[in-house]
């Protein structure tokens, strides 16, 4: 297998509760990504974003990666991987340093960020992200880029996201067994925000809500920076479970009913519409009204949206979300979801799908791929930031990110 040098290929791996998605994209100009390979496989051995069977998760990762590699005609060596779960936590911190130069230099910024992040983090937790919010130089506050400014003292406000060390290690064990190196772990909602948001939304204030099968992940932006992040350990599987129990149908059939026929608002469904519901134990299928299905689903969606609303209100940032809510994840594709969400949140709501994509865009032009594609954009921005800060050639940055391919089949 020949090594491919100087490529711009990045790999994203989204290990969800129900699905594992692997996507590889080529970095293009103007922040575009050309999708060159996609792989999906049912996630076995996962529960609410966490690993509960290493062997099954490893096999599922291998299947998704293999499918992606076949489509791209290259072999993956390492990935950027999304992580979620109730163990993910956030906190805002502040740091202050004296400015050591006549003008603020990158070294000063590095120092103040280091001071802000030097909080006591328990040994059992891993720091995922240290995200600058804004700086203040002497009496001037709300500075986004202090490089070149004059002053004596500089403060930095940062947002820190951490996860349980053991949970992260379990994911790494799975990828190691699949012969894949994890280059970087990224909080799922943060990754999704990279693929679905506009700069205007970040500035005005927006909440990205990724509703998957096992968890709801969210991040809140205001004035261009993340102010809050959270994980709610309930999501789409609760809806599937309700359908399975109430209509006495196997879980796989309940999931199919949810995907094909469900509506989040019963008032949007005609009483005349009927669907076939498979039974268990070889019993014949039954016919029922689609409206009846919506009557079961609506209360659960209301519960999910109200949990999200409570999280937003508890953050104290509800009044700063002028651009509204952006929903991503497979669960938000249901008919009536946006309309119901607008009723609950009383603010604009839209479904977020990956933007600035080319190539095999039809494969990922879906809210369920927001996280996977967002990982590619996250990798791009990380490379660009390192290149600017360190003033080193792009090739060197790419080699450090390492989420590339080598070889051909």
Going along the chain from its start, the domains and CATH numbers come out as 89-165 (3.30.1490.110), 199-352 (3.30.420.40)
Measured CA to CA in angstroms, residue 236 lies from 301, 319, 350, 356 at distances of: 9, 28, 18, 27
Cα dihedral sign, 195-322-304-313: positive
What pLDDT does residue 388 have?
63
What pLDDT does residue 389 have?
60
What pLDDT does residue 2 have?
26
What pLDDT does residue 387 have?
64
Angle at which helices 290-315 and 337-345 cross, to 10°:
40
What pLDDT does residue 392 have?
46
- Range 191-206 average pLDDT: 97
What pLDDT does residue 56 have?
96
In whole angstroms, give the CA distance from residue 400 to residue 383: 9
Measured CA to CA in angstroms, residue 42 lies from 57, 60, 105 at distances of: 10, 7, 48
| pTM of the predicted structure, to 2 decimals | 0.91
Given a cut of 90, is residue 16 above it in pLDDT? yes
- Range 139-155 average pLDDT: 94
Per-residue pLDDT of 241-269, as tens digits, reads 999 999 999 999 999 999 899 999 999 99
Among 236-240, 271-275, 400-404, which range has the highest average pLDDT?
236-240
Q: What whole-number percentage of the chain has pLDDT above 70? A: 92
What pLDDT does residue 155 have?
96
3-state SS of the chain is CCCCCCCCEEEEEEECCCEEEEEEEEECHHHCEEEEEEEEEECCCEECCEECCHHHHHHHHHHHHHHHHHHHCEEECEEEEEECCCCCEEEEEEEEEECCCCCCCHHHHHHHHHHHHCCCCCCCEEEEEEEEEEEEECCEEEECCCCCCCCCEEEEEEEEEEEEHHHHHHHHHHHHHCCCEEEEEEEHHHHHHHHHCCHHHHHHCEEEEEECCCCEEEEEEECCEEEEEEEECCCHHHHHHHHHHHCCCCHHHHHHHHHHHCECCHHHCCCCCEEEECCCCCCCCEEEEHHHHHHHHHHHHHHHHHHHHHHHHHHCCHHHCCCCEEEECHHHHCECHHHHHHHHHCCCEEECCCCCEEECHHHCCCHHHHHHHHHHHHHHHHHHHHHHHHCCCHHHHHHHHCCCEEEEC
What pLDDT does residue 402 have?
47
How confident is the prediction for the chain on average, in pLDDT?
Answer: 90
Q: Which of the pair, 399 or 310, is modelled with greater confidence? A: 310
What pLDDT does residue 279 have?
85
In whole angstroms, give the CA distance from residue 229 to residue 233: 14
Cα three-residue angle 370-372-375, rounded to 5 degrees: 100
What pLDDT does residue 100 have?
87
Per-residue pLDDT of 18-52, as tens digits, reads 999 999 999 999 999 999 999 999 999 998 788 88
Given a cut of 80, is residue 3 above it in pLDDT? no
Given a cut of 60, is residue 401 above it in pLDDT? no
How many residues are there in the chain?
A: 409
- Report residue 157: phi and psi, to 5°: -105, 130
Of 110-124, 145-159, 226-240, 273-287, the poorest mean pLDDT is in 273-287
Per-residue pLDDT of 82-127, as tens digits, reads 999 999 999 999 999 999 889 999 999 999 999 999 998 899 999 9
What pLDDT does residue 66 have?
96
How many other C-beta atoms can be found within 10 angstroms of the C-beta atom of residue 94?
14
């Amino acid at each position: 297998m020949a090594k491919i040098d100087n490529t711009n290929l990045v790999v994203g791996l989204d290990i969800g509760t129900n699905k594992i998605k692997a996507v590889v994209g080529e970095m293009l100009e103007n922040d575009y990504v050309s999708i060159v390979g996609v792989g999906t496989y049912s996630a076995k051995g996962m529960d609410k974003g966490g690993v509960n069977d290493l062997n099954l998760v490893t096999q599922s990762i291998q299947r998704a990666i293999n499918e992606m590699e076949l489509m791209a005609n290259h072999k993956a060596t390492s990935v950027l991987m999304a992580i979620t779960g109730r163990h993910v936590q956030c906190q805002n911190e502040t740091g202050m340093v004296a400015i050591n130069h006549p003008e603020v230099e990158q070294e000063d910024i590095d120092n103040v960020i280091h001071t802000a992040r030097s909080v006591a983090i328990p040994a059992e937790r891993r720091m995922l992200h240290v995200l600058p919010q804004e700086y203040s130089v002497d009496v001037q506050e709300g500075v986004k880029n202090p490089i070149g400014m004059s002053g004596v003292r500089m403060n930095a406000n940062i947002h820190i996201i951490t996860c349980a060390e053991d949970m992260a290690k379990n994911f790494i064990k799975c990828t190691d067994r699949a012969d894949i190196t994890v280059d970087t772990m990224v909080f799922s909602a943060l990754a999704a925000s990279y693929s679905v948001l506009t700069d205007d939304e970040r500035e005005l204030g927006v909440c990205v809500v990724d509703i998957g099968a096992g968890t709801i992940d969210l991040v809140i932006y205001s004035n261009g920076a993340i102010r809050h992040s959270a994980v709610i350990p309930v999501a789409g599987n609760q809806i599937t479970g309700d359908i399975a129990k109430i209509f006495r149908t196997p879980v796989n059939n309940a999931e199919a009913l949810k995907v094909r026929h469900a509506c989040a608002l019963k008032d949007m469904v005609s009483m005349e519409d009927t669907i076939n519901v498979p039974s268990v134990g070889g019993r014949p299928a039954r016919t029922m009204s689609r409206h009846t299905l919506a009557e079961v689903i609506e209360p659960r969606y209301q519960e999910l949206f109200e949990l999200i609303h409570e999280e937003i209100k508890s953050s104290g940032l509800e009044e700063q979300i002028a651009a509204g809510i952006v929903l991503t994840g497979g669960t938000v594709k249901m008919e009536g979801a946006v309309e119901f969400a607008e009723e609950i949140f009383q603010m604009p709501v839209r479904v977020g799908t990956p933007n600035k994509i080319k190539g095999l865009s039809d494969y990922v032009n879906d809210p369920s791929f927001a996280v996977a594609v967002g990982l590619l954009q996250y990798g791009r921005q990380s490379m660009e930031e390192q290149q600017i800060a360190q003033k080193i050639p792009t090739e060197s940055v790419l080699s450090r990110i390492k989420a590339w391919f080598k070889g051909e089949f």
